[in-house]
Amino acid sequence: MTSRCRLFRIVSGLVFASVALLAAEGRQTENVILVTADGLRWQEVFRGIDPALMNAKEAGMDEAGALRDKLWAESAAERRRLLMPFFWSEIAPHGVLLGNRDLGSSVRVTNGYRVSYPGYSEILTGRAQDAAIRGNDPIQNPTETVLEFLRRKWQLRREQVALFGSWDVFQQIGEHQPGSVLINAGFRALEEPGLSPRLRELSRMQFELLTPWPSVRHDYVTFEMALEYLKTARPRVLYVALGETDDWAHERRYDRTLETATYFDQCVRRLWEAAQSLPEYRGKTTLLATTDHGRGGTLDDWPSHGTKVEGAEFIWMAAIGPDTPAGGEIRSQQDHYQRDVAATMLELGGVDPGGYEGIQGKPIRLVVKP
């Protein structure tokens, strides 16, 4: 190499490094809030109440006239606004919504199973791990999750990265190294030093407010704990994993599925409003929302999902925050994937996703301002 060439390399290297630094410095995201609604279909998010299900006795709608009246409108645009008002009045105008198949936008699960653990793990590790994670057995996540990776990169204490989940298997999904982040999921007491009276009360209450499902507690408990934790402990990374949208669908209770979808929308609104009211979060927090899998699209198969259910690979994603453009509902023909969530989260947080070993997903450019 000639010295002139070497000089050029050094100069161009410096330019490259400073551009990279500027890009990271240009980001405003200092906190990330991730929220998921288990198995909430893209059909409800983008079309509202489903005309094929809303009158069906076998979908539990025989006594749900009042709910049907409340959510029904001629156009899908009006129906979805009635079902999920925060998504359509706040996220759509100020953020990005991906996955409306009616507009050609697709977000797809890449793991082969289309059930919960593989889906959540794909979200949290940016990859499908089909050989190791074959279903919902509670095995410890074989890979460092993005929660753990972000904790390392942002140099946070354990309690600054928190996961509250309704489903108990999040104890295993959320981290590779047990105890590296704060996880409270399923019917489990929250035991941390210095908890507020509200958190102690919620922790106690969960064992008295039983659900029909031994492994899933009420979303109310999970959400209220997460919100109170946000207000009192000010975590930098918060993951809230709600579950009832899936469980009521398995029970063939479309009425409750719709009500919990609206509850999820309300939870996202309350998290966002809480973040905007606190100096640690205002203007420097990105909120991402998505789901672990889709489900069937007909009266026959809407309650289920999995490899054999057609369309269960299609999901949706929403983002709002200081580094996300007001892109609204995306019409792109470009495919996006569930594994892209982790890379997008890192990119927003100014962390190079390339440093997260084994990651397969890519940052979604539509969600990150150039």
What residue ranges bind Zn ion (CB under 5 A)?
A: 39, 246
State the nearest-atom distance from the C-beta of 288 to Zn ion, in Å: 21
The tokens for 318 are: 């929403």
Cα 294 to chain center, whole Å?
13
Q: Which position's Cβ is nearest Zn ion?
A: 246
State the nearest-atom distance from the C-beta of 213 to Zn ion, in Å: 11
- For Zn ion, the closer of residues 118 and 363 by Cβ is 118
Which H or E run includes 274?
A: helix 254-277
State the nearest-atom distance from the C-beta of 247 to Zn ion, in Å: 7
State the nearest-atom distance from the C-beta of 311 to Zn ion, in Å: 14
Which H or E run includes 179?
A: none
State the nearest-atom distance from the C-beta of 204 to Zn ion, in Å: 28
User: Rounded CA gap, 247 and 232, in Å?
Assistant: 30
- For Zn ion, the closer of residues 257 and 344 by Cβ is 257
**Measured CA distances, 324 to 69, 268, 321, 350 (Å):** 35, 17, 5, 13
- For Zn ion, the closer of residues 149 and 302 by Cβ is 302
Closest CA relative to residue 321, chosen from 345, 353, 356, 342: 345
Beta strands 182-185 and 161-165: pairing type? parallel
**Measured CA distances, 235 to 19, 27, 130, 189, 226 (Å):** 30, 19, 31, 19, 10
- For Zn ion, the closer of residues 306 and 325 by Cβ is 306
**Measured CA distances, 112 to 117, 127, 129, 132, 305 (Å):** 12, 12, 9, 12, 12
- For Zn ion, the closer of residues 203 and 338 by Cβ is 338
State the nearest-atom distance from the C-beta of 101 to Zn ion, in Å: 20
- For Zn ion, the closer of residues 27 and 41 by Cβ is 41
Q: What Rg value do the Cα atoms of the chain yield, rounded? A: 21
- For Zn ion, the closer of residues 285 and 338 by Cβ is 338
State the nearest-atom distance from the C-beta of 246 to Zn ion, in Å: 4
State the nearest-atom distance from the C-beta of 314 to Zn ion, in Å: 15
User: Rounded CA gap, 78 and 74, in Å?
Assistant: 7
For the chain, how many residues are written? 370
- For Zn ion, the closer of residues 213 and 272 by Cβ is 213
> 338 phi and psi, to 5 degrees?
-60, -35
Q: In what order do the strands lie in the sheet with 31-37?
A: 182-185, 161-165, 237-242, 31-37, 285-290, 317-320, 96-98, 328-329
